[in-house]
Amino acid sequence: MHFFSDNFEAGKKYAEKAWSICEKLKADGNHDYWIQATEAEALLLLGSVDDAVFSYTEAVAMLDVKPSWVASTRKQALQIASAYEDEGIREKIYNAFPTLGIVAFSGHVLDRPGSVPRFPPEAEEIAKKEIVEAIEKMDATCGYSSAACGTDILFLETMIERGGEIHIFLPFAKEEFIETSVRRAGGKWVSRFERVLDQATSIHYVTKDGYNGEDSLFSFCNDVLLGFAAMRGRGMDEDPNLLVFWDGAMFIELGKHCANCLI
């Protein structure tokens, strides 16, 4: 507070006290996340940027650190760094913190026989390759998607292979979703659907009632999962990505966040 009130002498005094307390606690064998993060913040307030970066890096690398802790520390650290005239300081602090890599996904189901081509079954391998490359580029570890046959399941399988979180959203009751959006593709799509659900971090239903011919539930499901991804991003002080597999005839936007579209 002293720092942002331009009372730098008082700010420096309290930062030195905080740093001294942290050093004593560590010398006595106490070395947890908050001690390390507090020491890093004190060093940043004192202008010892490189030492602060080192301390922040050590803090976020500790075992059992919760993402919410890192998000809180990161947000405050960036606020302090942004107050310095040297823009390079903010960049150094930004690079000291890992991001969760949140991505919301939406895409096409496999084409029905005789339908207008959007995602033919023979394109599955190509689609998987493109999704893998896009996710690697984003360094994504947290995915939000529905689970229809086609690109949804390909996305979820890719996130699982990366060891990431997957949060699945279904527009209505599971059994009816299987009949409308999974079994239609034949093959092993139903078992693949069950497998991604078994490995999901969370499963959400827009409604647990049936389909009842309400096609609007599909678009509403997309709105819900986008909202969840955006809220997770705000909670983590991170901009989520939007990955869309589309045929050029539609476009989905997630606020001001990045949209990555595969054709």
Consecutive 10-residue averages of pLDDT for the chain (263 residues): 88 94 94 95 96 95 85 91 92 90 92 78 90 93 95 96 94 96 91 97 95 94 95 86 75 40 45
Give the closest residue to 144 by CA, choosing from 109, 172, 104. 104
Q: Judge whether 225 lies within some domain.
A: yes
Strands 202-205 and 165-170: parallel
pLDDT at position 123 is: 86
Q: How many residues does the chain have?
A: 263
Instruction: Give 106's strand partners.
Output: 244
Residues 171 and 234 in one domain: yes
Residues 193 and 65 in one domain: no
Q: Is 2 part of any domain?
A: no
Residues 30 and 138 in one domain: no
What is d(CA 38, CA 21) in angstroms, rounded to the nearest whole number? 10
Look at residues 95, 118, 147 and tell me which one is the last residue of a structural domain. 95
Is 245 in a helix, a strand, or coil?
strand
Contacts 24+ apart (CB under 8 A), 127-132: 127/151, 127/154, 127/245, 127/262, 128/154, 128/158, 130/245, 130/262, 131/155, 131/158, 131/243, 131/245, 131/262, 132/158
CB atoms under 10 Å from CB of 179, counted, come to 13
Asked whether residue 118 falls in the same domain as residue 45, the answer is no
Q: Are residues 71 and 107 in the same domain?
A: no
* Per-residue confidence (pLDDT) for residue 259, from 0 to 100: 44
In a domain, residue 195? The reply is yes
Residue-level pLDDT at 248:
59
Same-domain status, 245 and 132: yes
Number of separate domains in the chain: 2
- Ramachandran bin of 187, using left for φ above 0, alpha for ψ from -120 to 50, beta for the remaining angles: left
Query: What's the pTM?
Result: 0.74
Q: Tell me the two tokens of residue 171.
A: 């527009």
pLDDT score of 93: 94
The CATH number assigned to the domain holding 192 equals 3.40.50.450
Closest CA to 180 of 147, 145, 222: 147
Same domain assignment for residues 251 and 172: yes
pLDDT of residue 247: 65
Q: Is the distance from CB of 146 to CB of 196 less than 8 angstroms?
A: no
**Inside any domain, residue 3:** no
147 & 35 share domain: no
- Within a domain: 136: yes
Residue 37 lies in a domain: yes
Q: What's the pLDDT score for residue 250?
A: 41
Q: Which long-range contacts link 46-52 to residues 24+ away (Cβ below 8 Å)?
A: 46/12, 46/15, 46/16, 46/19, 49/89, 49/92, 49/93, 50/92, 52/77, 52/93
Q: Answer yes or no: do 84 and 133 share one domain.
A: no
Are 22 and 48 in the same domain? Answer: yes
Residue 153 is predicted with a pLDDT of: 97
Do 87 and 134 lie in one domain? The reply is no
**Residue 106 backbone phi and psi in degrees, to 5:** -145, 140
Instruction: Supply 172's token pair.
Output: 């209505």
Could you tell me if residue 209 is inside a domain?
yes
Classify burial at 59, counting beta carbons within 10 Å of its beta carbon; exposed 0-12, middle 13-18, buried 19 or more. buried
Asked if the structure places residue 254 within a domain, the reply is yes
In a shared domain, residues 170 and 73:
no
Question: What range does the domain containing 165 cover?
Answer: 102-262
Q: Are 68 and 90 in contact (CB under 8 A)?
A: no
